Structure 1
Amino acid sequence: MSDAAKAAITNIFVLMLENHSFDQMLGRSGLPGLKVAPPDASNSYDGKSYPLYHPAPWSMKTDPGHEFPDVLRQLCGAEAATAYLEKCDKGTRKDPHPVDCSQCHYPAIDLSGFVSSYATSTSEATGTPPSDHYGDIMGCFDTQAQLPVLYRLAQEFAVCDAWHSSLPGPTWPNRFFVHGGSSAGMDVSPEMNSELPWETLRGFEYENGSIFDALKAAGHRFRLYQDKSNAFSDKPSHAWQGGWISQVASLKGLSLADIWSLGWFKGDVHARRADGSATYAEIPYTFIEPNFGASFFSKQREPNGDKLDGPRYVGGSSQHPEDDCYGGEALIKFVYETIFGPESPIRDTSLLIITYDEHGGFYDSVAPGCAPPPGDKTPKGQEYLNRYCFDFSRYGVRVPAVIVSPWVPKGKVDPTLYDHTSILATLRTKLGLKHLTERDRVANHLWDLLSEPAPRSDIPAVLPDPVKPPAREAAADTVPDDLPLPRSGNMIGFLHVLLKAEIELAEKSGERAVADIVADFHRMTTHAHASAYVAKMKAMLDALETR
């Protein structure tokens, strides 16, 4: 580690994208020194072998499963997953069955079930793929040709090839780990429930608070941005489809009103005082969310001709599997060039971490190892969010992570074990903060990567343009009035973020009783109801976003 680098860094930025494994994104990049899948890597399903191959499809036919049971099957095989779930699945919230969680131990991992899971999982409500596409889950991008922005950054800076998601499960608990060193026991996606913490004005809560609580308590500022206007997709989704709804705004102490549009980002970062110094140097931590695309109300035709309904997350900048990667590549390019371009006053004093929340169901060749459990208690009212008796003693699947700074050597490959709580460890050791949980207390920080004696002068000012994929037929987005809402998933989480925001606004204005707002929310049963609610809240929140 360069002591000069750690002292010089004033700004730490995190851009977290969606749902890709390390091997899928970088495993066939040809970059030297990376730990990647061997040439003969494969999975078998229904008597057929499916080898690893490249190039990967630009987008997936259906959304690969990545809920806890899906990942269990991917990592451990169908037989072991079934045995675990028969013993350890507590059942639905309305009809739980007693389980002795002390008898629930994560099975041995053999990485045998990725194709099996993709061929059979229906947890994401987009249907199963046609049989001639089962092997798509084993595809690896031709990184240089398909992902030129990510490839150039990996060439120029550091790749962490042992960065794992924080648990073998879905988006929401993994994103909670980056904000609080824990998911407070949550091993599932949000569920429709009359007792959710969002409905009490609390928001999602950690026993020891979030990193944002810690920053506030220590007198440090932070900033939250999102691609609200969907400025980067080649085929942007509609605002009423909800891609602008922030996941981090679900936390206690934060609100949708705290999330700034990325349209402000360049002006904020480049602002200077009269003496030429950077005003943004006063903001040590910035977290950036993509636009999540069509998170609501998509309707598509399954390959066998049956109509299915489920969010596809297309037309955003998150790089979700059913979307292409163009929007995310354009977002990465914009964020990098804003921070490290020639006009930036914080070019030499910034660290940018680009990573992915979880693997999205895609094959990876490295078995996740044992992890230190966070050791925190689950706040009252959130206990039911631990459905599968998971004790958090296992990391999730490996995901891409690229570490960017002029203080990072060119072409560095780092085999150090990291997970999302390494972001917290990096902040903690820079700012003198206390750890939040046992997981982030022992997590490896990133400072050793900043080993140059002085900031490099040869970093690129401009990155390549993203590559547009071949044209494809757009999915229908009509909304049948009688289409019922799902009981769980990202859609439910985003709706509750909106509910939390509406309650917060009502508390400030005194115009409506919270009980009435919650009652109206629970009368919402169809996609048509939800689309109207999203549109109403978008207009309400847009009116508040002034500077």
Structure 2
Amino acid sequence: MTSNINLQDRIKHVFVVMLENRSFDHMLGLSNIHGIDAVSGQPTTLDGLNARNDWNLDLHGNKVYASSPADWNMLYDPGHEFNDVKEQLCGAEGNYPRINNSGFVISYSKIDPANPGEIMKCYAPDQLPVLTTLAQEFAVCDHWFSSMPGPTWPNRFFVHAASSAGLDHSPAPQTMADAILFRGYTFENGTIYNRFDKANLGWTIYKGDAFPQSLAISGMNIRALEGRFKDFKDFSGDLNNPGYTTTYAFIEPNYGHAFVGDFTCGDSQHPKDDVTRGERLLKTIYETIRNSPHWESSVLIITYDEHGGFYDHVPPPQTVAPGDATTDPANDINHFDFRQLGVRVSAVIISPFIPKGVIDSTSYDHTSVLATVESIFGLQPLTERDKHANTLNHLFSLTTPRRDAPTTLPAPSDSGFRCPGDTVASAATRLLVTDAAPATEPVPSSLQGFLHVAFLRDLQATPPDAQASRTAKFMNIQTHLEAKRYMEEVRQKVEPHEAQ
């Protein structure tokens, strides 16, 4: 199923949406999708779960099997920092490179000792009708892995820079070098956005809330002032403009209540949030592109930054290290060599030039996004990782665009949860509970990076003669409650400015 089509003649717009913290098996492992192998063209079945063979041992030596259905949201955020993932992949006493995916239950038992089997629960297809339909209609990649065995921030940096600049953990602003603290993260070879700039190709980041993670990259504050960052509410209007010229659009979800650290009431599909809210986002994105004047020249890539601690049965392979510099010594606390991929995550590739029902078992990671756009648009690779990454090019094998791609997708399931301000009609009766920020608890690791983004936005909106006092306030943050109050203050400060 390969073709010699000149893809740059066909593909003018690439859209990427990266959601949060869900493994492949957790989302699609029970989908039982049958289709055509992307390489051989032969009938095949997605590499999903086998309920008789997929299990972990608990602390008492009992087998805990993968099961269904999964809860719409988790009460506790599963561990997914570097050492958590090492235990999940290698077992309680394991160390790289011996990987057997045996430690998920034991890892989660430290967070929820009464219910360690929650981490083995997987969604049934009817719980995720939007994602499942897209996987059936286009190409699903069942060997797409997060770029490193660790948390959100380094994995998201890989999709922008083919590197995390040595970051192997959730960042802590108070330990950053001043250059990164005040200007953002730098990468020795820049980012994909620098490559697009050099080639005079347009790019946009659509942000779901006031604190997009990509704003932590050095220079992005200036690019935001230049109009490169747009609210997601502008997405539909932009796409319906026949003159839309953006070559590459990265869509950041609404991370919800990031400032209290539970990420509820967004649409990122963070474990503590209602997963159906992310289904609504995917439906909106797909239907907007599908019904726009640009459908026949567009590609949509859906994936997840990392697995969020959830079980997956496929051992991730080793890989090529980026080979670039660690730009801040504080980035490297685990002394990781970046030669090991992280846990498998879902990826669905959508285009009118992809046949229906393609299953692709090629090995990918997030830098395959970069390798693909570099190949299509004639850009140079950023690091050794994207230089050696597999591209998606072989998936776009049709010579003419499909006419049977659905114009609408099924409605998301009704979880029964709602959030304040919801306008979606629902029979929901339960309010999705947002955690309070304890007065004395330290700032959680999952919040630290977004706290840094809030600081960068604060400086952007503050006159120079007042920046010293704002910096002092930020540097004095010690507790979760102080972080919450600061981020809410910044949000209220920047949102009216953006509305003007």
TM-score of the superposed pair, with normalisation by structure 1: 0.82
Match of 1:170 in 2: 151
Q: Distance in 1 between matches of 2:404 and 2:434?
A: 46
Deviations along 1:32-79, one digit per CA (max 9) or x if unpaired, are: 110123332110012211011122222223111000000000000111
Could you state the TM-score of these two structures normalised by the residue count of structure 2?
0.90
2:279 paired residue number: 329
Partner residue of 1:129 out of 106, 109, 112? 112
Following TM superposition, by how much is the alpha carbon of 1:80 offset from its aligned partner in structure 2, in angstroms?
1.8
Q: Does residue 107 in structure 1 map to residue 121 in structure 2?
A: no
Shift of the alpha carbon at 1:478?
Answer: 4.2
Query: CA, structure 1 residues 74+479, in 2 after alignment: closer, same or farther (shift >3 Å)?
Result: closer
Which stretch of the first structure deviates more once superposed, 212-221 or 364-373?
A: 212-221
> Mapping of 1:278-427 within 5 angstroms?
278-280=242-244, 282-297=245-260, 311-341=261-291, 344-379=292-327, 382-427=328-373
Change (3 A) 1:479 1:141: closer
Q: Is the 8 A contact 2:259 2:487 kept in 1?
A: no
Q: CA deviation at 1:259?
A: 2.7
Say yes or no: does 1:34 pair with 2:46. yes
Partner of 1:76: 90
2:464 and 2:100 map into 1 onto residues whose CA distance is 56
Question: Does 5-14 or 428-437 show the bigger shift?
Answer: 5-14
The farther-off stretch of 395-404 and 28-37 is 28-37
Residue 475 (structure 1) aligns with: 433
Indicate conservation of the 8 Å contact 1:246/1:259, yes or no: no
- Structure 1 letter corresponding to 2:259: F
Identify the match of residue 14 of structure 1 among 13, 16, 21: 16
Q: How big is each residue's C-alpha offset from its partner over 1:505-543, in whole Å with a ceiling of 9 and x where there is no partner? A: 44xx4343x443322211233444333322332233223
Alpha-carbon separation, structure 2, partners of 1:296 and 1:536: 10
Identity level (%): 44
User: Residue 65 of structure 1 aligns with which residue?
Assistant: 79
Code of the aligned partner of 2:102: S
Change (3 A) 1:194 1:373: closer
In the alignment, does 2:454 pair up with 1:498?
A: yes
| CA pair 67-14 structure 1, distance change in 2 beyond 3 A | same
Q: Which residue in 1 is equivalent to 2:239?
A: 269
- Specify whether residues 116 and 533 from structure 1 end up closer, same or farther in structure 2 by C-alpha distance, changes over 3 A only: same
CA contact (8 A) 2:79 2:108 kept: yes
- Secondary structure of 1:193 counterpart: helix
CA distance in 1, matches of 2:181, 2:273: 34
- What secondary structure, in the 3-state scheme, does the structure 1 residue paired with 2:174 have? coil
Match of 1:43 in 2: 56
Q: For residues 167 and 370 of structure 1, do their structure 2 counterparts lie closer, same or farther at Cα, with a shift above 3 Å needed?
A: same
Residues 188-197 or 369-378, more deviating: 188-197
- Give the residue type in structure 1 aligned to 2:100: D
Amino acid at match of 2:388: V
Render the CA deviation track for 1:473-524: whole Å, top value 9, x for unaligned: 64354455x33442x5231111111212222344xx4343x44332221123
Q: Distance in 1 between matches of 2:470 and 2:257?
A: 25
Cross-structure match for 1:252: 218
Query: Is the contact made by 2:182 and 2:456 (CA closer than 8 Å) also made in structure 1?
Result: yes
Shift of 1:402: 0.2
> What are the within-5 Å matches in structure 2 for residues 83-102 of structure 1?
none
Q: What amino acid does structure 1 have at the position aligned with 2:74? A: M
Cα distance per residue 1:258-315 (max 9 Å; x no partner): 43211111001111xxxxxx221x2110000111122233xxxxxxxxxxxxx22121
- CA displacement at 1:546 relative to structure 2: 5.2
Change over 3 Å in CA distance of 1:198–1:138 after alignment to 2 = farther
| Residue in structure 2 matching 1:525, options 463, 468, 478 | 478
- Partners of 2:302 and 2:109 in 1: CA distance: 30
Matched, 1:202 2:183: yes
Matched residue of 1:339: which SS? Answer: helix
| Counterpart residue number, 1:543 | 496
1:3-58 per-residue CA deviation (whole Å, 9 max, x = no partner) reads 15542110000000011111111111121110123332110012211011122222
